[in-house]
Amino acid sequence: MSGLASPATAGPSQQMLRDPSLASFQGRTIDLSKSWEGARVCAVLSRTEVRCYASNEEASADLAPRSTPTNTGRGGGPISTLAWHGCDNDWLCIYEHADFGGRKLQFNEEYWHDLDEWGFVDQTSSWVNNQGGSWTGCSGSDSGTLGDGAGDNRTMTDCTASANLGSYNDRAEDIHG
């Protein structure tokens, strides 16, 4: 025996937790809590993965395999992603400006997200919940919630949208959905 110990691999409890504000954008890592660095769309894929894009088209092209059903009828190719106000099927999207304008942050994981992590606290002015839909209509079972941190929450029923949040404009601090 050589007397040299082999390096131990870090187990889950030894690994550093990933900073949720970090995202991949154009081949580099950016800290969304500080700056979006030119990104227009960011998708929170999980607690450990956030991807950003320069445009809605770029985001849809990359995320389509996750949300695009396959046409099993004639032709056999993929069908459209059923985007609504720029929010692809199976996503809950919030927008920086009214009428679905400005930066877009989108989610499809069911837990509470702190919008401060992505530099989006008090910046939501419109939203689309394009979750829960299918070929036969909306399920009514995939609502989201905007919270202002003080207990005043707004429900975002699946397959609905709001182009202007009125008195709730720029008040959201967290989101579930």
- pLDDT, tens only, 6-55: 334 443 433 445 687 999 999 999 999 999 999 999 999 998 899 999 99
What CATH code is carried by the domain that includes residue 97? 2.60.20.10
Q: Which residue's structure tokens are 């995202």?
A: 23
Structure tokens at 123: 């910046």
Domain of residue 108 covers 22-64+82-176
Domain count along the chain: 1
Q: Based on the number of CB atoms within 10 Å of its own CB, is 51 exposed (0-12), middle (13-18) or buried (19 or more)?
A: middle
In a domain, 124, yes or no: yes
- Residue 13 covered by a domain: no
Instruction: Pick 159 or 97 by higher pLDDT.
Output: 97
Q: How confident is the model at residue 136 (pLDDT cuts 50, 70, 90)?
A: low
